[in-house]
Amino acid sequence: MFCFQCEQTAGGKGCTKVGVCGKDSRVATLQDLLLYQLKGIAYLGSKILAEGKKIDEGTTKFMMDALFSTLTNVNFDEKRFVRYILEADSVKENLKNQVSNLDNLPAAVYYRPPEDVEKMIADGKKVGILADDIDEDIRSLRELLIYGLKGMAAYAHHAYRLGYKDIEVNNFFFTALANTLDSNLSADELYNLCMELGKKNFKCMEILDKAHTKTFGHPQPTEVLISRKKGPFIIVSGHDLKDLKELLEQTEGKGINIYTHGEMLPAHGYPELKKYKHLVGNYGGAWQDQQKEFDGIPGCILMTTNCLQKPRDSYKDRIFTTGVVGFDGVAHIEEVNGKKDFTPIIQKALELGGWQEDEEEKKILVGFAHNTVLGVANKIIEAVKSGQIKHFFLIGGCDGAKPGRNYYTEFAEKTPKDTLILTLACGKYRFNKKDFGIVAEFPRLLDVGQCNDAYSAIIIAIELAKAFGVDVNELPLTLVLSWFEQKAVAILLTLLSLGIKNIYLGPSLPAFVSPNILQVLVERFNIKPISNPENDLNEILSKK
Ligand code: FSO
Ligand code: SF4
């Protein structure tokens, strides 16, 4: 196996024997073969588009879901990848019937997978990341594009589940992935595709924002309990608000408390979700703490998306997966005719009985997406003009296990009292339970939402820039980002495609970005690897 798609990749170079994430070499190789199949599908899809025809909805949905399943910490289940690979074969055969000429196409188009898993693995070994002998920079850009597409697939999947989609975003999965089969593509052409991906992902996050706010209302500032309550419970993790809503409906009146976990925390701000009284609070920290925090827990956990870690035996019988998530031996809740029946998890939670006592109450504040923040834009602008707010920081992104990620905690702690911090995604757990006080009349720490709510943060920045009559890069705003997996790659490409410069990025730079490509990004966008909080803060604040 060879995989270097995420930040925790072995030795900062690549996982070769087993994934640091726990993905074994069999699953990694099956994922490679699935991606090869998806490239074949993409090529046929791009031909269908070039012939002026449409790609059917089932094929698009398959593309999104299958790409999503290969993200870090989503699916570790060998059987699921075997099914996807075989399904991809039917999808491909169906597309072949729609293309007028099938001569001289890339091998991925003609490839037919064997039924036998060992043979599949043998085939997968021939089509991995390092399979072809290409220039390091071309490989780097190609993988950058593929990881961006994977990230965007996750967002498109969530929007689609709520009935929202965009034809340009959907078609781009096919045209862009098809291009990764073209070994004659130049570095410039691949770079341009990466920037185009950034733009398409902005559109995709906009659609997802619309899907969330039209379905659940605009998030409102909301206090969230972070201590335990007595009674049976289910903890819901991941990003899928639709799953949470369905579970809330099915648990109403059953005496079960629902807690959010990880990236589900922003759910508490949405009117159509917070109205459920049994959505009682948030449990635990970021994803990498789950094995410790779920250990022997007297309740259930539902994983709707990443980040899933290998469950310990002490809770393997009470963690459930749904959607594209999976783990061998863990119960999975399937969608049937657009509905999910959560009865097994509900019954298990009741059986386990839950916590015996209430803990002392503690609360944090969430719900500062674009509608709320821009609703007080005039006051924010006044506070900047009067000198009460001197600088804005967006300290956001993913969390992870590396000790170097303490940088973000220290950075947030060291920001001066006359600055305001916006945060989003699971990296916020490094500091979201700390009291940062007030600046002007605002809490100094404003939680904008999930990683996809980077859209919200961008809109806030664009609108503030307009109000001040300056370019976004001239705002007293600095982005201090932590990346971990492929959604963060898509977001980073979005920020770059919008021309946003001077981003501080850490905790380490992506292994798949070659030195030459990094140099290009540094020259064009002045991306800065994080150093230490004091140095970086001094550098940022002395420039004003
Ligand atoms: Fe975190 Fe995991 Fe949202 Fe990611 S829970 S790391 S970028 O999947 O999606 O921030
Ligand atoms: Fe390694 Fe990350 Fe790939 Fe897992 S997803 S195998 S940790 S690079």
pLDDT per residue as tens, the chain (544 positions) = 999 999 999 999 999 999 999 999 999 999 999 999 999 999 999 999 999 999 999 999 999 999 999 999 999 999 999 999 999 999 999 999 999 999 999 999 999 999 999 999 999 999 999 999 999 999 999 999 999 999 999 999 999 999 999 999 999 999 999 999 998 999 999 999 999 999 999 999 999 999 999 999 999 999 999 999 999 999 999 999 999 999 999 999 999 999 999 999 999 999 999 999 999 999 999 999 999 999 999 999 999 999 999 999 999 999 999 999 999 999 999 999 999 999 999 999 999 999 999 999 999 999 999 999 999 999 999 999 999 999 999 999 999 999 899 999 999 999 999 999 999 999 999 999 999 999 999 999 999 999 999 999 999 999 999 999 999 999 999 999 999 999 999 999 999 999 999 999 999 999 999 999 999 999 999 999 999 999 999 999 997 5
Within 6 A (CB) of ligand 2 lie 3-6, 8-9, 15, 19-21, 23, 28, 72
Q: 92: domain CATH number? A: 1.20.1270.20
Q: Which of 131, 160, 178 is the last residue of a domain?
A: 131
Nearest atom, ligand 1, residue 71 CA: 8
Cα angle 425-400-261, degrees, rounded to a multiple of 5: 50
Tell me, yes or no, whether 113 and 233 share the same domain.
no
Distance CA 517, CA 504 (A): 17
Tell me, yes or no, whether 120 and 235 share the same domain.
no
**Three-state DSSP class for residue 118:** helix
In a domain, 304, yes or no: yes
Q: Which of 92, 109, 131 is the last residue of a domain?
A: 131
Nearest atom, ligand 1, residue 154 CA: 9
Ligand minimally distant from the alpha carbon of residue 158: 1
Tell me, yes or no, whether 242 and 121 share the same domain.
no
Nearest atom, ligand 2, residue 7 CA: 2
In a domain, 138, yes or no: no
Nearest atom, ligand 1, residue 237 CA: 5
The amino acid that residue 132 corresponds to is D
Distance CA 429, CA 40 (A): 40
In a domain, 149, yes or no: no
pLDDT, position 506: 96
In a domain, 124, yes or no: yes
Tell me, yes or no, whether 119 and 228 share the same domain.
no
Q: Which of 310, 329, 352 is the last residue of a domain?
A: 352
Helices (H), 166-324: 167-179, 187-216, 241-251, 271-274, 290-293
Tell me, yes or no, whether 228 and 340 share the same domain.
yes
Choosing from 261, 447, 484, 505 the residue with most ligand 1 atoms within 8 A of its CB, the one to mutate for a pocket test is 484
In a domain, 288, yes or no: yes
Tell me, yes or no, whether 120 and 246 share the same domain.
no
Domain count, the chain: 2
In a domain, 520, yes or no: no
In a domain, 83, yes or no: yes
Q: Is the entire prediction scored with pTM above 0.95? A: yes
Query: How far does the centroid of ligand 2 lie from the alpha carbon of residue 2, in Å?
Result: 9
Predicted complex: ipTM over 0.95: yes
In a domain, 461, yes or no: no
Task: Decide: 484 in ligand 1 pocket, CB within 6 A.
Answer: yes
| Residue ranges making up the domain that contains 312 | 222-352
State how far the alpha carbon of 371 is from the alpha carbons of 220, 262, 428, in Å: 8, 23, 20
Q: 311: domain CATH number? A: 3.40.50.2030
Question: Ligand 2: which residue has its CA nearest to atom 5?
Answer: 72
